[in-house]
Structure formats: C-alpha cells, structure tokens
Amino acid sequence: MKGLIQRVTYASVSVESEKISEINSGLLLLLGVEKTDTSETAKKLCRKVINYRVFPDDQGRMNCSLLDHGGSLLVVPQFTLAADTRSGTRPGFSAAAPPDHAEALFQEFLVASEQCLGKASVGRGQFGADMKVVLENDGPVTFLLEVGGVLARA
C-alpha cells in the first residue's frame, strides 16, 4: 500500500463539479492499493500517516504529527500510485488491487482514520470517480509512504 502525503493549508475534492469534501490545515493523502495489501496493511499505513512527523514544532523542525498538530486528513483513492514505472514509457498496473479489494481496503483505511482522529477530521474522495483535487501544499512538504508488499518500509 502506498500513500503520498502532502502537508496542506487547504485541500478539496470534487466530483462532477460538486465539492464533496474539503479540509483546512492537515494532510492530503493519495492512497494506492496493491494486490498483496490486507486489512493489516491498511491499519499499519493509517498509523504511519497519522503519526508521521511533518508539522513544525516550536523551533520550526518537522517534529509534530497530524495528531500533535490537530489537523484534518483528506483521503483520496489513487489507482495510479500502484503503477510499475521501472521500465519503458508506459505504466504497468499488474500490481494494482482489483477494484472490489481496493475499495474494501480504502473503506477500512477511512474507518481506522476516523477512529484515531474523529469522524469530523477525516474527509474522503469517492472511490472509482473522476475527481478534481485542489490543494495548497504547505512547504511544500510531500512524502511517499509504503507498507507491505515488496518495498516494505514500515
């Protein structure tokens, strides 16, 4: 499972020109699900995202987590993060989870996030939709987090 987090001052997601979710200060997470991912993978990445220290402390060092900061999380499913881009000029998607498996793990990730942060602090994109994401990256600060699969780093 891969999560691209971006520290934001604002982020929103729209479907068919209708804004379905928005947050102010916090993290935008683009979430990619792979075939080998499980419920445990989703929970592990959730813990990592929420506890990853990307917000400044009193000295300006990135030493505070989303929990410490008290910000919100906007989770957007992102199929293309599961792409294999190691060779050629066209991405391969053989590692991507099938839609039913990916959607189930996306929903599990949301539930775990809401349990840690509270439902009001978690926004969501719409699985399988053509979404428009607007964000104001703060820093910019962007990290690719990976758990499970071949590139386990958690």
Catalytic residue IDs: 78-80
Residue 129's nearest CA partner among 96, 112, 106 is: 106
Burial 72-90 (b: 16+ CB within 10 A, else e): bbbbbbbbebbbeeeeeee
Distance CA 64, CA 39 (A): 26
Which residue, chain included where needed, has tokens 């690719």?
144
Tell me the β-bridge partners of 126.
Answer: none
